[in-house]
Amino acid sequence: MNYYNEIKNILIDNAIGRKVREYKSNQKDLESYYNVGKLLVEAQGGEERAKYGDGLIKEYSKRLTTELGKGYTTTRLMYMRSFYLLLLKYPTLSDKLKNINVTWSNVCEILKLKDTIEIGYYLNASNELCFSTRELRVNLERDIQLEI
């Protein structure tokens, strides 16, 4: 028995399993936050009224934080709403998200952009280059400075 190869194979299997779990977790996060965004827009009376429904989001944020713990800030709920609205308006981005592995943190950084071509570009870049959120921020800042 080659103990080294056995050890190596176990560690490789573990690393692959971890990546699969991370991918599934990221996909579940994105799906959940999309659905929360959809419900927020509906609760606010639709897309047009969503702009004026910040009071409802503040209320939900307080209640969710009290009942579920930190992580449900007004800003985070607004990102969920923005995420839903973006994918509602641009279904091709929605298709891309089904097949890529990006984190919610990266999505939040990308949602700060206004141009859908840029959004699509950075979603692809985050996926293909496996950007951490920090690496994504550095690239966004660099590209913004290049535009100026």
Q: What is the pLDDT of residues 60-119, one digit of tens each?
A: 999 999 999 888 999 999 999 999 998 888 777 777 677 777 889 999 999 888 888 888
Question: Would you say residue 30 has pLDDT above 80?
Answer: yes
Eight-state DSSP code of residue 99: T
Question: Would you say residue 50 has pLDDT above 60?
Answer: no
Residues 6+ apart with CB under 8 A from 142: none
Instruction: State the Cα torsion 26-34-31-56 to the nearest 10°.
Output: 90
Residue 146: per-residue pLDDT: 60
CA 23 to chain centre: 12
Contact, 44 vs 119, CB < 8 A?
Answer: no
The average pLDDT across 134-146 equals: 81
Residue 148: per-residue pLDDT: 44
Residue 143: per-residue pLDDT: 76
Helix 3-43 to helix 54-68 angle (10° resolution) is: 140
Task: Please give the C-alpha separations between residue 133 and each of 12, 107, 108, 126, 139, in angstroms, as whole numbers.
Answer: 25, 9, 9, 9, 10
pTM above 0.85, yes or no: no
End-to-end CA distance of the chain: 62
